[in-house]
Amino acid sequence: DAKTTQPNSMESNEEEPVHLPCNHSTISGTDYIHWYRQLPSQGPEYVIHGLTSNVNNRMASLAIAEDRKSSTLILHRATLRDAAVYYCILRDDLSGTYKYIFGTGTRLKVLA
Amino acid sequence: DAEITQSPRHKITETGRQVTLACHQTWNHNNMFWYRQDLGHGLRLIHYSYGVQDTNKGEVSDGYSVSRSNTEDLPLTLESAASSQTSVYFCASSAGTGPGGTGELFFGEGSRLTVL
């Protein structure tokens, strides 16, 4: 399973954009990039995923580098409710398995 | 509404006892997973299943077992609980929609287990 590297923690001011980086230099051509987040005292929840092109949804945007060795989750306007641990995960869809290997993630602190 | 529930939410047990954590989902998902979460380790995969009668070992399976007799349930058993198994346990399920599909994981609220 290909690994990802994320900073342990980041801080942001409320109402400002946040860019959460993820390095995955050993990514294979069939790995999809998934992001989940875990709010305090809850299980993780899905945020966004993509393969090559940038992706947008109501929660966030995902920017994927051209060589796919890194990606960035973008929260356009951080709110206090966005304070969570964010996990970047690679999933090999073509292997027929759908298991997710979580790392330790980035703990995002949002300052009022 | 469909959901995934874990029980018990909190349990204290003694070293050497057998413990079973229940996980029940009503989405009719084929894929189910058990993770444990400890400070400094994030979430680690214990066991997973892709359907009835199918079970697979994850990253940290020693001391744990699962069985899948129906689609809805994947109980996690600690055969002989050890203090190192004190943790928060999360169950999750997904539809496994094929390559590129979200395959979104839906998590339960967690079970906090303390082994004394």
Pairing state between β B4-7 and A106-111: unpaired
Angle at A45 between CA A41 and CA A51, to 5 degrees: 150
C-alpha span between A57 and B80 (Å, rounded):
45
Please say whether the beta carbons of A112 and B67 come within 8 A. no
C-alpha span between A105 and B22 (Å, rounded):
27
Helices (H), chain A: none
CB proximity B27 to A under 8 Å: no
Taking CB atoms and an 8 Å limit, are A44 and B105 in contact across chains?
A: yes
Using CB atoms, which residue from A42, A99, A105 is nearest to B109?
A: A42
**By three-state DSSP, how is residue A62 classified?**
strand
When pLDDT is averaged across residues B52-74 and rounded to a whole number, the result is 95
**pLDDT tens digits for range A32-88:** 899 999 998 899 999 999 989 899 998 899 999 999 999 999 999 999 999 999 999
Chain A positions touching B43 (Cβ under 8 A) are 44, 87, 102
What tokens appear for B45 in the block? 């995969």
When pLDDT is averaged across residues A16-20 and rounded to a whole number, the result is 96
CB proximity A92 to B under 8 Å: no
pLDDT at B105: 87
pLDDT at A1: 60
C-alpha span between B32 and B46 (Å, rounded):
11
What tokens appear for B28 in the block? 């009719």
- pLDDT band, residue B53 (cuts 50/70/90): very high
Please say whether the beta carbons of A87 and A46 come within 8 A. no
